[in-house]
Amino acid sequence: MIVNIEDLRQRARRRLPKAVFDYVEGSAEDGFTASANRRGFDRYLFRARSLVDVSVVDRSTTVLGEKLATPLILGPTGLAGLLAPRGEELAAKGAASRGALFTLSTMSIGTIEEVAAAAPSPLWFQLYVWRDRGVTRSLVERAKAAGYRALCLTVDVPAMGNRENDRRNGFTIPPRITFTNLLDVFRHLGWVLRMSSSPRATFGNFVDLPELKRTDAVSVAQFTNSQFDPSVTWKDVEWLRSVWPGPLVLKGISCAEDARRAVELGVEAIIVSNHGGRQLDFLPGAVDVLPEVVDAVEGRSEVILDGGIRRGSDVVKAIAMGARACMIGRPFLYGLAANGQAGVELALDILSKEIDRTLALLGRPKLADLDRSALRVDVPALL
């Protein structure tokens, strides 16, 4: 029986071949940051108010002017289409049906156009800057033409993080059957059969790129290190401002200085994130960095917390600290692997109901009622 996100994770683990599950679950090097993303929430306890009328609980909000029924944004996740055929389309539809936002990764299996056509809006598009600025510009233009609402530039991948499981498993695109994983693939014939209806098993937005055509299988790190531009700077953010007419979002900010710089450039939203612990290890947990960024931004742009959300109470804590909404990665991927669109909807329902219950128990029936007085931050003294 699935009652929480951890149950969905267990279901996903059973349904996916090991190399695919490890790719989703994986973090960089010692996994310090990935676990700090979770542990960070333990440092905040609640201050509940009693005898408050909580007969009507309202978790709706707006993000960049978009009305959301729940303060959740599905984060960009490359290769989500390996978890279920047309996985990105299913996840985008699931998000829309629950009043959440979906962000399509540059590195998706479904293309910019396919996902836009399948999913009712609203959608965001996440961008990596390619060495070839012609490719970058064409991604931006395709996203614009397909009606994506915001452009979300990920700034924490100047080089690919060191994900050792993917190296050990020989995880490639497209996935290969090798002597080492033969038995495991055989144990997951359900996945093999399901995936046989997938339109492709490679990065959909780049099927025409010679580098993908030339080699029949490539590791994610090899491919991205050869394509992503490590020389990207704030100048490129200014350039994007000039070619993208809509709201611009920076994902992967982890200190006050960068948050201030982003605000000065008129960036509409800042996502405090360490890429789910998949990039630089030994960054603090995302929620640990949140107050620093919220204070630096001083309300001049929206702040979104990304990383480690597994409970509705995590979302409530982040919003009380000043986040506008939270982004989730693995939780909806577990749902997608467990049961396609319905699994994504289940993940969102679980978190949304936990948010509602937490708000009621806390005596703050609306998200707008939340502020830092709902939290105790002097926790070490209390534990």
- Which residues lie near ligand FNR (CB under 6 A)? 23-24, 37, 75-78, 105, 107, 126, 154, 251, 273, 275-276, 278, 306-309, 328-331, 333
Catalytic residues: 275
Question: What distance in Å separates the CA atoms of residue 362 and residue 366, rounded to the nearest whole number?
Answer: 10
Q: Which helix (H) or strand (E) covers residue 156, if one does?
A: none
Burial class (CB in 10 A: 0-12, 13-18, 19+), 374: buried
Q: How far is the CB of 128 from ligand FNR (least distance, A)?
A: 7
| Encoded tokens for 234 | 């704030």
Residue 133: C-alpha distances to residues 21, 107, 156, 168, 317 (Å): 33, 16, 19, 33, 40
Q: How far is the CB of 374 from ligand FNR (least distance, A)?
A: 22
Please work out, in degrees rounded to the nearest 5, the angle formed at the alpha carbon of residue 159 by the alpha carbons of 344 and 150. Answer: 45
Whether the CB-CB separation of 383 and 45 falls below 8 Å is answered with no
Nearer to ligand FNR, 204 or 365 (CB): 204
Q: How far is the CB of 66 from ligand FNR (least distance, A)?
A: 18
How many CB atoms neighbour CB 17 within 10 A?
22
Question: What distance in Å separates the CA atoms of residue 373 and residue 159, rounded to the nearest whole number?
Answer: 39
Nearer to ligand FNR, 129 or 333 (CB): 333
Question: What distance in Å separates the CA atoms of residue 34 and residue 12, rounded to the nearest whole number?
Answer: 19
In the chain, which ranges are continuous DSSP H helix? Answer: 5-15, 18-25, 32-42, 87-97, 112-118, 133-145, 164-169, 182-187, 189-195, 210-214, 220-227, 234-243, 256-264, 286-297, 312-320, 330-362
Sign of the Cα torsion 163, 156, 203, 247 reads positive
How many CB atoms neighbour CB 219 within 10 A?
16
Question: What distance in Å separates the CA atoms of residue 201 and residue 174, rounded to the nearest whole number?
Answer: 5
Nearer to ligand FNR, 42 or 58 (CB): 42
Q: How far is the CB of 139 from ligand FNR (least distance, A)?
A: 13
Q: How far is the CB of 330 from ligand FNR (least distance, A)?
A: 3
Q: How far is the CB of 322 from ligand FNR (least distance, A)?
A: 19
Nearer to ligand FNR, 271 or 367 (CB): 271
Nearer to ligand FNR, 296 or 336 (CB): 336
Nearer to ligand FNR, 98 or 330 (CB): 330
In this structure, are strands 375-376 and 45-46 parallel, antiparallel, or unpaired?
antiparallel
Kindly write down the DSSP assignment for every residue of 29-87, as one continuous string.
Answer: TT-HHHHHHHHHHHT-EE----S---SS-B--EEETTEEESSSEEEPP-TTGGGTSTTH
Nearer to ligand FNR, 77 or 358 (CB): 77
Q: How far is the CB of 338 from ligand FNR (least distance, A)?
A: 15
